[in-house]
């Protein structure tokens, strides 16, 4: 009479198959966590850039052509060093526009942050309407 059950060979093959499946799952989990950490830093930089752009758009007189820069507070970046640099330029105005006439101004913002020992950058542009000041009409391209 033959006994029921699994042979040692069948148990070893089943264990090997399970081990391969577990290793593949753990590898995928590790990759997913690494990608999530990378995207978290990028999302944080995007949110900081949007916040800084909103702040810059509210500055009543941004010096045309001047570059301003600064560092983000480490409490905002979860300890990741990050900095920003912004520049405003006149983008468009009516032909022959003079002081007091409306013009379109472009604000370019670049956010730099550290990730994995490398410096990554994120760029953002914003536009706003403002009136020309004396001496700016000649500065248009």
Residue 125, pLDDT > 80, answer yes
First to last CA, the chain: 98
Q: Are 104 and 126 in contact (CB under 8 A)?
A: no
What is the average per-residue pLDDT within 9-31? Answer: 92
Which pLDDT score, from 0 to 100, does residue 126 have? 92
Which pLDDT score, from 0 to 100, does residue 137 have? 58
When mean pLDDT is compared across 21-25, 49-53, 63-67, 103-107, the lowest value belongs to: 63-67
- The average confidence (pLDDT) of the chain is 85
Cα angle, residue 103 at apex, residues 108 and 84 outer, rounded to 5°: 15
Q: Which two tokens stand for residue 1?
A: 């009479």
What CATH superfamily classification does 8-139 receive? Answer: GSPII I/J protein-like (3.30.1300.30)
Q: Which helix (H) or strand (E) holds 73?
A: none
Which pLDDT score, from 0 to 100, does residue 2 have? 67
Which pLDDT score, from 0 to 100, does residue 115 have? 78
The reply to whether the predicted model has a pTM over 0.75 is no
Q: Which of 70, 65, 40 is nearest to 55 (CA)?
A: 70
What is the average per-residue pLDDT within 100-111? Answer: 90
Each residue's pLDDT tens digit, 129-140: 888 877 665 545
Pairwise CA distance, residues 113 & 44, whole Å: 10
Domain ranges of the chain: 8-139
What is the average per-residue pLDDT within 23-44? Answer: 84
Q: Which two tokens stand for residue 13?
A: 């093959």
Most confident of 75-79, 82-86, 132-136: 82-86
């Amino acid at each position: 009479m033959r006994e029921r059950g699994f042979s040692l060979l069948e148990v070893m093959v089943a264990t090997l198959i399970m081990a391969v499946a577990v290793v593949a799952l753990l590898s995928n989990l590790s990759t997913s966590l690494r990608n999530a950490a990378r995207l978290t830093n990028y999302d944080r930089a995007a949110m900081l850039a949007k916040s800084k752009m909103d702040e810059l758009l509210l500055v009543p007189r941004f010096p045309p052509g001047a570059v301003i820069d600064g560092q983000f507070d480490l409490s905002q970046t979860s300890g990741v060093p990050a900095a920003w640099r912004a520049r405003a330029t006149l983008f468009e105005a009516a032909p022959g526009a003079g002081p007091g006439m409306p013009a379109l101004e472009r604000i370019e913002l670049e956010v730099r942050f550290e990730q994995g020992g490398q410096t990554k950058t994120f760029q953002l542009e914003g536009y706003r309407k403002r009136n020309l000041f004396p001496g700016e009409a000649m500065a248009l391209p």
